[in-house]
Amino acid sequence: MNRIGVTGHRSIPAEAEAHVLAGLRAALCGLDGATHALSSLAVGADQLFADLALACGAELTAVIPSGDYEACFENDVDLARYRMLKARAVREVRLDFPHSTDEAYYAAGAYIADHCDRLLAVWDGLPARGLGGTGDIVTYARTLGRPVTVIWRDGVRRG
């Protein structure tokens, strides 16, 4: 079984989105054998990954960082998409943090890195803006010896 996890930015600039989608699709679709995808279903890279993983026939595990995770979604559209993806997951792992904090986000990213065979990182290569950001999870995964595939369009910066 292929166990693929994701970490990535919540905000993906429009000029990088097509490249990111193509990179995720190439990494997820057409794999030999069953595929299991792990995602926290955050807005941005996590939801793009989960959508594509499901479209490619993967089973999805939703890794929920905290008890109040739904409160971090800024609008009804993003929350509805999160709920739809979570409902399609075959497994839910809810971490034992009551509130969505940087520590909870780091723990969720670490859980994904701990339980995947390969990590896809939708990452601009810059340091994390807070504990648990994409750069932190990439560093953690690499210390585990996990293969990390960075997907980003060269020359594009996040806002």
What's the average model confidence in pLDDT over 56-62?
A: 97
Q: Each residue of 135-150: pLDDT tens digit?
A: 999 999 999 999 999 9
Q: Each residue of 63-72: pLDDT tens digit?
A: 999 999 999 9
CB 64 within 8 A of CB 95: yes
What's the average model confidence in pLDDT over 112-133?
A: 94
pLDDT of residue 35: 96
CB count in 10 Å sphere of residue 114: 13
Q: How far from each other are the two terminal CA atoms of the chain, in whole angstroms?
A: 37
User: Which class would CATH give 2-151?
Assistant: alpha beta
Segments making up each domain of the chain, as ranges: 2-151
C-alpha to C-alpha distances, 93 to 29, 87, 109, 126, 153, nearest whole angstrom: 24, 13, 12, 29, 31
The mean pLDDT value of the chain amounts to 96
pLDDT of residue 129: 86
